[in-house]
């Protein structure tokens, strides 16, 4: 039997446990218990002994018996009702009283989704914290920036890391908002009218409302879908998948940047002592985790369209063609998001920065990047700006061509210093070429961003426990 790679290689035990059959069907039974308790409290003839027996047998599963019932009934919920009644016979007559299948299927999905979203929150906040520490460490280390993947004005390593943090911070805020706004289906009945429950309470609408409110509260939800057919609106799934897709977008961007920086030898992921980069080339240090992060992120992004089709093709109050789809897609999207955050946690806490290579690369490009500053310095000495500009243009093209065609790096600074049209000594030029003169407000931007936007969020969510992370090759 094939194991899903998400289960066997990438997702954490915590996330896997949320989407096990044991967790799912135990949740169904807890929903039936909550329904029976709330009905008893509101006056229906349900005994304490019936509820007690249901509670005692909540995790007593005979999977062979359930499979036999499902083969007989061709209906998974009915199979579980009968199997539960077999181990809790005193409650046989009141299990699922007044409910329809989506009472357990949809509400259990939402309970799993909420727990999974909360786990992702705790993982993402730890990732952001690791990146914040790195940004603070390299707040003012000048490095080349790149536009169109061509050398551009210098920035700092800390500023570049903050670009990643900003994306993940937005993702975290969306994740929290999506979790907080998650709505319980509650008790809606076969077509959403709650007619069966109204009949149970002899037309007392207030008791039906109390029944739904009490069950939602006992299951940890403060908000309930107000209007529904048999199911909750699948637009809610669209929002959930989009929130997870946002993480994949940011993860792919970060991992791609890291792969580019690894090629430039400025920054890379950790490499274990016995790790093999290539079966053919012993010297290779392939960015395997960054590559895996890109691959998993692309897979998650491919899933975000799935619930949009489901939401768009709902038939009136209910059809069943979404059931098999959601049974597969919901666990997959959460296991994949979990795998992505496992990789992000490892990469953000094991990033290696090479300041000497960064300095070397910036020094190679600075004479060209500093031409505007050289023009201004010479102009302040009374030189003709247009003549200076034309001379610099020709010199830069000559040295650039020499570098690219013959692999020779001429001394542009020396030639400028020896040209009387500039009237600038080599010492003056060296001062102009101080990398710190070209990074603008990057260090101040980093400090302000970490203080005003990142730290308050990290402080606010310190209550999120440290989750387990899984990293597998």
Rounded CA gap, 103 and 225, in Å?
12
Is 148 assigned a catalytic role?
yes
Residue 410 burial (10 A CB sphere; 0-12, 13-18, 19+): middle
Q: Which two tokens stand for residue 184?
A: 């319980």
Cα dihedral value 360, 362, 367, 368, nearest 10: 130
> 146 has which bridge partners?
151
- Distance, in Å, from the CA atom of 134 to the CA atom of 160, rounded to the nearest integer, reads 10
CB 186 within 8 A of CB 106: no
Q: Is the dihedral of CA 171, 175, 176, 182 positive or negative?
A: positive
Neighbours of 262 (CB within 10 A): 17
Catalytic residue among 8, 62, 278, 425: 278
Cα-based distances in Å from 235 to 89, 219, 224, 309, 313:
39, 22, 14, 10, 11
Give the Cα separation of 30 and 34 in Å (integer).
6
Of the candidates 234, 227, 236, the residue with the CA atom closest to the CA atom of residue 193: 227
Residues with Cβ < 8 Å from 388, sequence gap 6 or more?
374, 375, 378, 379, 421, 422
What are the distances in angstroms from CA 408 to CA 150, 186, 258, 416? 19, 73, 29, 18
User: DSSP letter at 224?
Assistant: B
Q: Is 278 exposed, middle or buried (0-12, 13-18, 19+ CB in 10 A)?
A: exposed
Q: How far apart, in whole angstroms, are the C-alpha atoms of residue 182 and residue 74? A: 31
Length of the chain, please?
473
Reading phi first (left if > 0) and then psi (alpha if -120 to 50, else beta), residue 364 is in alpha
Report which DSSP code applies to 426.
Answer: H
Residues 431 and 306: beta-carbon distance below 8 Å: no
Distance between CA 294 and CA 131 in Å, rounded? 18
Query: What gap in Å lies between CA 8 and CA 15, rounded to an integer?
Result: 12
Q: Is residue 252 among the annotated active site residues?
A: no
Catalytic residues: 148, 278
């Amino acid at each position: 039997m094939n194991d899903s790679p998400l289960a066997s290689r990438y997702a954490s035990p915590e996330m896997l446990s949320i989407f096990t059959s044991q967790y799912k069907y135990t949740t169904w039974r807890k929903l039936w218990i909550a329904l029976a308790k709330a009905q008893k409290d509101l006056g229906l003839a349900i005994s304490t002994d019936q509820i007690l027996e249901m509670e005692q047998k909540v995790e007593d599963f005979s999977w062979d018996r359930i499979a036999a019932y499902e083969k007989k009934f061709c209906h998974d919920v009915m199979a579980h009702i009968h199997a539960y009644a077999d181990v809790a016979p005193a409650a046989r007559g009141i299990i699922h009283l007044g409910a329809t299948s989506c009472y357990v299927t949809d509400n259990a999905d939402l309970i799993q989704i909420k727990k999974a979203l909360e786990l992702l929150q705790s993982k993402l906040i730890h990732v952001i914290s690791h990146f914040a520490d790195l940004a603070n460490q390299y707040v003012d280390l000048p490095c080349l920036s790149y536009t169109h993947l061509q050398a551009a004005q210098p920035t700092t390593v800390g500023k570049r890391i903050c670009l990643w943090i900003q994306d993940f911070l937005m993702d975290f805020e969306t994740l929290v908002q999506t979790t907080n706004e998650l709505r319980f289906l509650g008790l809606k009945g076969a077509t959403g009218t709650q007619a069966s429950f109204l009949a149970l309470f002899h037309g007392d609408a207030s008791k039906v409302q109390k029944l739904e409110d009490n069950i939602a509260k006992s299951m940890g939800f403060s908000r309930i879908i107000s209007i529904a057919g048999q199911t909750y609106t699948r637009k809610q799934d669209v929002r959930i998948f989009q929130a997870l897709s946002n993480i994949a977008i940011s993860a792919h961007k970060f991992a791609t940047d890291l792969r580019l920086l690894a090629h430039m030898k400025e920054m890379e992921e950790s490499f274990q002592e016995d790790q093999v980069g290539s079966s053919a080339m012993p010297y290779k240090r392939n960015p395997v985790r960054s590559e895996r992060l890109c691959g998993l992120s692309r897979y998650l992004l491919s899933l975000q369209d799935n619930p949009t089709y489901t939401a768009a093709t709902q038939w009136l109050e209910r059809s069943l063609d979404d059931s098999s789809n959601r049974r597969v897609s919901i666990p997959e999207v959460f296991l994949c998001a979990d795998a992505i955050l496992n990789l992000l946690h490892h990469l953000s806490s094991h990033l290696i920065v090479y300041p000497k290579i960064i300095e070397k690369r910036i020094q190679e490009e600075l004479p060209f990047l500093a031409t505007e500053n050289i023009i201004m310095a010479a102009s302040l000495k009374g030189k003709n700006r247009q003549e200076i500009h034309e001379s610099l243009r020709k010199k830069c093209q000559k040295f650039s061509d020499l570098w690219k065609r013959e692999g020779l790096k001429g001394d542009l600074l020396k030639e400028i210093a020896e040209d009387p049209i500039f009237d600038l000594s080599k010492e003056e030029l060296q001062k102009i070429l101080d990398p710190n003169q070209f990074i603008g407000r990057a260090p101040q931007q980093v400090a302000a961003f970490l203080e005003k936007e990142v730290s308050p969020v990290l402080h606010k969510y310190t209550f999120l426990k440290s989750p387990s992370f899984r990293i597998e090759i």
